C-alpha cells in the first residue's frame, strides 16, 4: 500500500530468502507449521492505521457500555454457562479488511471481532524473521501505541500469568494436533507457561489440577485456547472433562469462555460506524435486497471462514434451519492493492487489543495479517498459491 516500500521489498525478495524465512520457524519448531506463511509483510500508511484505531476505540466504547451484557446475554451457549465470568475479557482481536469504497478510496472495514486470544506469540517471531532477512526500514513497526518487543512481551506475560505466585496453564483440546500449535509452543517458551490438554485436568474440592511427571499441580489461572463450540464435536471423555468447568472452581480465566460468544459476530449488529459493514441477525430481516450478491451470510460462532456463504442465493437462505444463529452482512469490496510478482493480493489485518489495568481500557499492541488471491481470506483457503497466507503488517 506504500508503493516505494512495496517495490523495495519485492526487489529484495528471492526464493532462497523465502526458504530461509520458513526455516527460521521450522528449525526452532519442527513440524509445527500447519498453514501457509506468506512471502511478504504488508506496509500500511499512517492514515489507514488511524482509521482502524479510531474504529477500534468506537468498538471498545460499546463493549464498556452499560448495555453490553444485556445485549449479548442471548449469545451464550446454554450448554456451557461457566462461573467466574469477569466483566471484560483480557484481550480482544479485531479483523479489518482492506477495501475499496464507492469513490475508489482504500479504507478499512471491520469484518469480525473476537473476545479470544490469537497468535500473540507467533507474530513476535515473524517480525524477527522478516528483519533477519530483509532490510525493513527503521521507521516501520508491527507494534502500535509506542509498544516495542520488550513492552509487548511484558504486557503479554502480565495479562496471561497475573501475579507471580499464580500457576497458569495454556489450555487446549489436544494442543499438539491444532493448526495454531506453533503459537502455543512459542508462547510456552516466551513466558514459561505449561501447555495442558483438556483431557489432563481433574477437580478436587473446587480446585483444578493436572499431573506432570507424577506430580499433582494445582491450576490457578487458565490461558484459554479452547473454542467451546468445538467441545460438543469431541468424544464423550472430552465433554465430561469440559463439564468440570460448570462447577464453581477456584480459577481465573484469560479469557472466560463466555467472552468468545459475547464479543464475536454476535456483537456486529449492534455496531453502527462508517468502517463497519451494515449487519443484521438473519431472523430479524423481513425484506432482502433484489441483488443477494450484495450480502454475505455467516454462522455466528464459526471461525476461520467455516460456513460463510459469499455468493448468497435464495436456496441458501431457505435451507438455514436456525436463522437466529446467523448474521447477514453487507459485502465489502476487497481491494487488490498488495503488489506481488504474480499479481495483486487482497489483505486483512487483525489488531491485538490487551486490557490495560492502569487506564482501565484496551490498548492496541500488535497485529497479524492475511493475504489472499481468492474470495476467502482464511489461511485454510489460501494454501495452494504463492504470495498468500499468514503474515503481518508494518505501520509507518
Q: Are 298 and 281 in contact (CB under 8 A)?
A: no
Give the integer Cα–Cα distance in Å for 11 and 122. Answer: 26
- Which residue is it, cell 501505541? 145
What pLDDT score does 380 carry? 59
Least confident of 172-186, 309-323, 357-371: 309-323
What pLDDT score does 381 carry? 55
What single DSSP character describes residue 199? G
Q: Are 275 and 327 in contact (CB under 8 A)?
A: no
Quickly list H helices, the chain. Answer: 3-12, 15-26, 46-63, 68-72, 122-133, 149-161, 181-191, 228-231, 236-243, 257-262, 314-319
Encode pLDDT of 87-102 as tens digits: 999 999 999 999 988 8
Cell triple for residue 261? Answer: 460468544
Q: From residue 190, how far is each of 95, 125, 198 by CA, in Å?
A: 25, 10, 22
What pLDDT score does 383 carry? 60
Average pLDDT over residues 65-93: 92
How would you class 365 by CB atoms within 10 Å of its CB: exposed for 0-12, middle for 13-18, buried for 19 or more? Answer: buried
Q: Whose CA is closest to 268, among 62, 57, 73?
A: 62
Phi, then psi, of 150 in degrees rounded to 5: -60, -45
Encode pLDDT of 225-268 as tens digits: 998 888 888 999 999 999 999 999 999 999 999 999 999 999 99
Give the integer Cα–Cα distance in Å for 1 and 51. Answer: 15
What pLDDT score does 322 carry? 87
For the beta sheet containing 279-281, the strands, ordered from the edge strand earlier in sequence to the opposite edge, are 279-281, 326-330, 295-299
Least confident of 7-21, 35-49, 241-255, 319-333: 319-333
- Which residue is it, cell 483444578? 208
Name every residue whose Cβ is closer than 8 Å to that of residue 92 and which is 6 or more positions away in sequence.
Answer: 59, 60, 63, 113, 114, 115, 263, 353, 362
Cell triple for residue 222? Answer: 487458565
CA 308, chain centre distance (Å): 17
Least confident of 25-34, 73-82, 235-244: 73-82
Q: How would you write 47-98 as a 3-class SS string?
A: HHHHHHHHHHHHHHHHHCCCCHHHHHHHHCCCCCCCCCCCCCCCEEEEEEEE
Give the integer Cα–Cα distance in Å for 395 and 108. Answer: 14
- Per-residue pLDDT for 213 more than 80? yes
Phi, then psi, of 253 in degrees rounded to 5: -100, 140
- Per-residue pLDDT for 289 more than 80? no
Quickly list H helices, 136-235. Answer: 149-161, 181-191, 228-231
The domains of the chain are located at 3-277+332-395
- Which residue is it, cell 506463511? 37
Cell triple for residue 120? Answer: 500473540
Give the integer Cα–Cα distance in Å for 276 and 284. Answer: 19
Cα dihedral sign for 24, 28, 30, 32? negative
Average pLDDT over residues 114-128: 97
Cell triple for residue 63? Answer: 463493549
Amino acid at each position: 500500500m506504500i508503493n516505494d516500500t512495496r517495490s523495495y521489498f519485492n526487489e529484495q525478495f528471492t526464493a532462497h530468502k523465502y526458504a530461509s524465512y520458513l526455516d527460521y520457524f521450522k528449525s526452532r519448531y519442527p513440524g509445527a507449521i500447519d498453514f501457509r506463511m506468506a512471502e511478504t509483510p504488508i506496509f500500511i500508511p499512517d492514515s489507514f492505521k488511524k482509521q482502524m484505531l479510531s474504529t477500534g476505540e468506537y468498538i471498545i466504547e460499546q463493549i464498556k457500555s452499560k448495555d453490553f451484557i444485556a445485549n449479548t446475554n442471548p449469545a451464550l451457549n446454554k450448554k456451557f454457562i461457566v462461573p467466574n465470568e469477569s466483566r471484560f475479557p483480557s484481550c480482544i482481536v479485531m479483523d479489518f479488511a482492506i477495501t475499496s469504497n464507492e469513490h475508489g478510496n482504500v479504507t478499512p472495514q471491520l469484518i469480525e471481532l473476537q473476545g479470544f486470544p490469537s497468535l500473540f506469540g507467533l507474530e513476535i517471531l515473524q517480525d524477527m524473521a522478516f528483519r533477519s532477512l530483509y532490510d525493513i526500514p527503521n521507521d516501520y513497526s508491527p507494534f502500535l501505541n509506542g509498544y516495542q518487543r520488550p513492552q509487548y512481551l511484558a504486557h503479554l506475560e502480565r495479562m496471561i500469568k497475573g501475579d507471580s505466585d499464580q500457576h497458569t496453564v495454556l489450555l487446549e483440546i489436544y494442543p499438539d494436533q491444532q493448526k495454531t500449535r506453533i503459537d502455543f509452543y512459542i508462547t510456552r517458551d516466551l513466558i514459561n507457561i505449561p501447555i495442558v490438554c483438556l483431557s489432563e485436568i481433574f477437580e478436587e474440592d473446587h480446585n483444578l489440577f493436572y499431573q506432570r511427571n507424577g506430580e499433582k499441580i494445582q491450576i490457578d489461572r487458565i490461558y484459554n485456547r479452547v473454542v467451546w463450540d468445538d467441545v460438543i464435536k469431541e468424544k464423550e471423555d472430552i465433554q465430561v472433562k469440559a463439564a468440570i468447568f460448570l462447577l464453581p472452581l477456584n480459577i481465573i480465566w484469560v479469557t472466560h469462555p463466555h467472552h468468545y460468544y459475547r464479543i464475536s459476530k454476535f456483537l456486529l449488529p449492534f455496531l453502527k460506524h462508517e468502517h463497519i459493514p451494515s449487519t443484521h441477525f438473519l431472523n430479524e430481516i423481513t425484506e432482502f435486497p433484489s441483488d443477494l450478491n450484495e450480502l454475505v451470510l455467516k454462522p455466528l460462532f464459526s471461525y476461520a471462514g467455516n460456513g460463510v456463504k459469499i455468493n448468497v442465493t435464495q436456496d441458501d437462505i431457505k435451507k438455514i434451519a436456525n436463522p437466529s444463529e446467523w448474521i447477514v452482512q453487507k459485502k465489502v469490496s476487497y481491494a487488490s492493492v498488495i503488489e506481488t510478482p504474480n499479481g495483486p493480493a487482497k489483505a486483512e489485518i487483525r489488531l491485538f487489543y490487551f486490557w490495560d489495568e492502569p487506564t482501565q481500557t484496551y490498548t492496541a499492541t500488535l497485529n497479524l495479517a492475511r493475504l489472499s488471491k481468492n474470495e476467502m481470506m482464511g489461511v485454510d483457503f489460501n494454501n495452494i498459491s504463492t504470495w498468500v497466507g499468514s503474515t503481518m503488517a508494518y505501520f509507518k
